[in-house]
Amino acid sequence: MLIIIYVYVDTHNSITSYLAREANAVVISVDYRLAPEYPFPAGVDDCYTVTKYVLDHGDSQKLRIDQNRVAIAGDSAGGNFAAVIAMRFASQSHHKHSPRIQILIYPSLQFFDLMLPSYIQEHYQFFQYTADHTLSAYLNEKIDPSIYSNNHLSVAQKKHYRKYVDWSLIPSKYRTVYKNPITDDQEGDPQLIEKAKKVLDPEVSPLLVDDQKLAKLMPTYILSVGHDRLRDCAFIYEGRLKRVHVPVVHDHYEHTFHGSIGFLNGPFALDIAHEMINGVVKYIKENL
């Protein structure tokens, strides 16, 4: 059985129905509470509660699913939630059943470093809110746009967390955007540091989890696209998973944009959307 977490249930019906049909899976979309009315951690807690219920009661007459064949998945913000939930299950030994795989489609993985090449190149990206807008709603704090210069971090924080957001794991062809070396020796704004302190929580930025916990994760599928602020985080996450010997498959589609997997039907249907989702289906069939 496949559990899919998506930001809006209705708008992702074409994706979830395609996965259900082609992967021969039961798909559950979680209609979780949304920010800003319900800030962090309401949404991710809702998704975790549903996932745990399915895993705990899958063999009931009502659900009748194989609890040993459950995947946790999501795209964009849903990918963030999926990564957080996967980590919760991986780090808690008391669970009788846990997701077998995680599927992350252009996931939002961190708000620590907003000066990665993809953030510089794709600052104004169609289909994506700005990071300050997203964090203001999600954390229930007014976050200043200067976050894009990493003004929300102290030098000590940059020094401590840099090892988790390792630029060397980004393909060299993308790193050429750095015309001058970027250093972490500039102190951020004290007020913004206080407002944005939750971004250092791995439940907000799952890429900031330490290697010991990361190594406990289940096999992972990552899909990323070229025109996307979140692109580089996918490569960093892939690289870190490989370092700790977690099986990972990463499909990267260079010439498309964030959100394009949803263009499966209608007048704006894209061939690349079908190629992308069929890659997801292939991974599910081979690993679930």
Residue 1, Cβ neighbours under 10 Å: how many?
20
Predicted confidence (pLDDT) per residue in 212-248, tens digit: 999 999 999 999 999 999 999 999 999 999 999 999 9
Task: Report the mean per-residue pLDDT for the chain.
Answer: 92
Query: pLDDT value at position 5?
Result: 60
Is the pLDDT score of 187 beyond 70?
yes
- List beta partners, residue 250: 222
Query: pLDDT value at position 7?
Result: 42
How many domains are contained in the chain? 1
E strand or H helix at 2: strand 2-5
Predicted confidence (pLDDT) per residue in 4-46, tens digit: 665 455 567 889 999 999 999 999 989 899 999 999 999 999 9
- The catalytic residue positions are 76, 228, 258
Residues present in the chain in total: 288
- At 128, give phi and psi (nearest 5°): -130, 135
Question: What range does the domain containing 31 cover?
Answer: 2-287
pTM of the model: 0.95
Residue 117, token pair as written in the block: 């090449």
Residue 240, token pair as written in the block: 């870190």
Query: pLDDT value at position 63?
Result: 85
Location of structure tokens 């209609």: 31
Supply the CATH number for residue 270's domain.
3.40.50.1820
Number of H helices and number of E strands within the chain?
11, 6
Mean pLDDT of 122-149: 83
Query: pLDDT value at position 126?
Result: 55
Burial of 283 (0-12, 13-18, 19+ CB in 10 A): buried
